[in-house]
């Protein structure tokens, strides 16, 4: 191995500076071509979806879907979101955090209150949380008022039926 290494060093020492630069450029070009081929192969191997990715809409109906209650004392709905009794509005959430990460923080913070059906972003620093029952909403209103989520103090409000 030492002989092979010394032969390589001797060979490089015998080359002129221009030859060494040309050799390095050639090696870099080969590496770039190999990287391009690997990227093409990865693109071909990954499942392709037709067309560009659609951005998820920021609406309340998307979060509730089939879980919206029908009938009962709290059956008022606006844009698919139930009114009094099932949803709370959270104000003061951190801004500048990607929504999936912020949603996870909200779900972890409010998870002890009850079953969360949906978390819907409304504006920067604001979200609605839909619970499966009224008691979970009451717990959220009492326990999470002025709590901290992501380092920010939040305010929890009842969603009025006048949405």
Kindly state whether residue 16 falls inside one of the protein's structural domains.
Answer: yes
Kindly state whether residue 48 falls inside one of the protein's structural domains.
Answer: no
- Residues 64 and 37 reside in one and the same domain: no
The two structure tokens encoding residue 10? 């001797």
* Tokens 């139930």 -> residue: 82
Enumerate residues 6+ apart whose C-beta is below 8 A from 63. Answer: 81, 117, 118, 119, 120, 128, 130
CA distance 10 to 26: 20
More confident: 135 or 1: 135
Which pLDDT does position 6 carry in this prediction?
73
pLDDT digits (tens, 9 = 90+) for 37-60: 888 887 776 655 555 555 555 555
Q: What band does 69 get if pLDDT is binned at 50, 70 and 90?
A: very low
* Mean pLDDT along residues 12-16: 72
- Residues 38 and 69 reside in one and the same domain: no
Enumerate residues 6+ apart whose C-beta is below 8 A from 76. Answer: 82, 83, 84, 161
Kindly state whether residue 150 falls inside one of the protein's structural domains.
Answer: yes
- Residues 151 and 88 reside in one and the same domain: yes
Give the CATH number, domain containing residue 85. 3.30.70.330
- Residues 83 and 145 reside in one and the same domain: yes
Cα dihedral sign for 60, 61, 62, 67? Answer: positive
The two structure tokens encoding residue 44? 């071909």
Q: What band does 143 get if pLDDT is binned at 50, 70 and 90?
A: very high
* Tokens 């990287």 -> residue: 35
- Residues 24 and 88 reside in one and the same domain: no
More confident: 32 or 86: 32
Query: Do 85 and 131 meet the contact criterion of CB atoms below 8 Å apart?
Result: no
Say which DSSP state 159 is in: P
- Domain tally for the chain? 2
Which pLDDT does position 5 carry in this prediction?
65
- Residues 23 and 64 reside in one and the same domain: no
Q: What band does 101 get if pLDDT is binned at 50, 70 and 90?
A: very high
Distances (CA, A) of 5 to 1, 14, 50, 67: 6, 14, 52, 70
- Residues 138 and 97 reside in one and the same domain: yes
Domain that includes residue 6, residue range: 2-42
Kindly state whether residue 51 falls inside one of the protein's structural domains.
Answer: no
């Amino acid at each position: 191995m030492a002989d092979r290494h010394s032969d390589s060093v001797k060979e490089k020492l015998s080359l002129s500076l221009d030859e060494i630069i040309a050799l390095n450029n050639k090696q870099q070009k080969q590496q770039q071509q190999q990287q391009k081929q690997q990227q093409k192969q990865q693109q071909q191997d990954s499942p392709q979806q037709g067309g560009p990715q659609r951005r998820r809409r920021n609406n309340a109906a998307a979060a509730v879907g089939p879980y919206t209650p029908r009938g009962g004392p709290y059956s008022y709905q606006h844009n698919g979101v139930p009114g009094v009794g099932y949803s709370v509005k959270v104000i003061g959430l951190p801004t500048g955090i990607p929504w999936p990460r912020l949603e996870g923080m909200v779900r972890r913070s409010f998870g002890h209150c009850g079953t969360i059906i949906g978390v819907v972003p409304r504006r920067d620093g604001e979200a609605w949380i839909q619970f499966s029952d009224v008691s979970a909403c009451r717990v959220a209103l009492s326990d999470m008022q002025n709590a901290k989520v992501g380092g920010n103090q939040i305010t929890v409000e009842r969603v009025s039926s006048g949405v």
